[in-house]
Amino acid sequence: MDLFPHLLSLDENLLPKDGVVNYLGPVIERAAADHFFQRLRTGIDWQPDEAVIMGRHIATRRHVAWYGDRPYAYTYSRVTKTALGWTEDLLALKAVVEECSGEHFNSCLLNLYHDGSEGMAWHSDGERDLKRHGTIASVSLGAERRFAFKHKRGPERLSLNLAHGSLLLMKGETQSHWLHRLPPTKTVSEPRINLTFRTIDRA
């Protein structure tokens, strides 16, 4: 009998090459995940994300927030944000993620997708301020959404569903060689919150 099936996923790399992605499935039980979703929905300082398109600042419908150990300045899609101090809920989620991954994180970017019409385009999280080859730990709460990877130079593609309360780890060289995205979908009308725990590493 397998008492800890999700722990086995740490040995299973979803990528065929050039990086490591582990999907641990739901690591937070449903009632706790529901609780965190509700608390974060109202307790986080959500702001519309901004994009700079042809030199103009455009506010997106997707909302974002940025928290960390210190007031890190973080440049993301060419907009700089200053990290707010951890909330009790974020520290509790960080503890779960650190326990499951065996790694430590000093910051977290949160995304709020109001429904399936909002997503995130192909990108990698190789920002200058992030620790090189550091793990990114992604927690999903709320509506289940598809998440996709494609290799930057080859034909390889894969995708998976991110369940309520689940944890996905992107490790090692993943950001150097793969893009990821959250495709918009007509079939989801419920909101989703995503938390990506990261390590900011700067002089």
Ligand X SMILES: O=C(O)CCC(=O)C(=O)O
Residues forming the site for ligand X (CB under 6 A): 109, 111, 120, 125, 138, 147, 162, 180, 182, 194, 196
Task: Tell me the closest approach of the beta carbon of residue 65 to ligand X, in angstroms.
Answer: 11
Task: Tell me the closest approach of the beta carbon of residue 193 to ligand X, in angstroms.
Answer: 9
The string of DSSP letters for the chain reads --S-HHHHGGG--SSSSSSEEEEEEE-S-HHHHHHHHHHHHHHS--EEEEEEETTEEEEEEEEEEEEESS--EEEETTEEEEPEEPPHHHHHHHHHHHHHHS---SEEEEEEE-STT--EEEE----TTBPTT--EEEEEEES-EEEEEEESSSS-EEEEEE-TTEEEEEETTHHHHEEEEE---TT--S-EEEEEEE-B---
Question: Which of the ranges 1-9, 55-63, 117-125, 156-164 carries the binding residues for Fe ion, by CB under 5 A?
Answer: 117-125
Task: Tell me the closest approach of the beta carbon of residue 149 to ligand X, in angstroms.
Answer: 11
Residue 44 binding target from ligand X, Fe ion, none, CB below 5 to 8 Å by type:
none
Residue 105 binding target from ligand X, Fe ion, none, CB below 5 to 8 Å by type:
none
The owner of tokens 């993301």 is 76
Q: Does 125 bind Fe ion (CB under 5 A)?
A: yes
Determine the Cα–Cα distance for residues 73 and 33; give it in Å rounded to an integer. 29
Q: Which is nearer to Fe ion, 115 or 125 (CB)?
A: 125
Site for Fe ion in 53-112 (CB under 5 A): none
Q: Which is nearer to ligand X, 92 or 179 (CB)?
A: 179
Q: Which is nearer to Fe ion, 116 or 119 (CB)?
A: 119
Q: Does 127 bind Fe ion (CB under 5 A)?
A: no
Q: Which is nearer to Fe ion, 38 or 64 (CB)?
A: 64
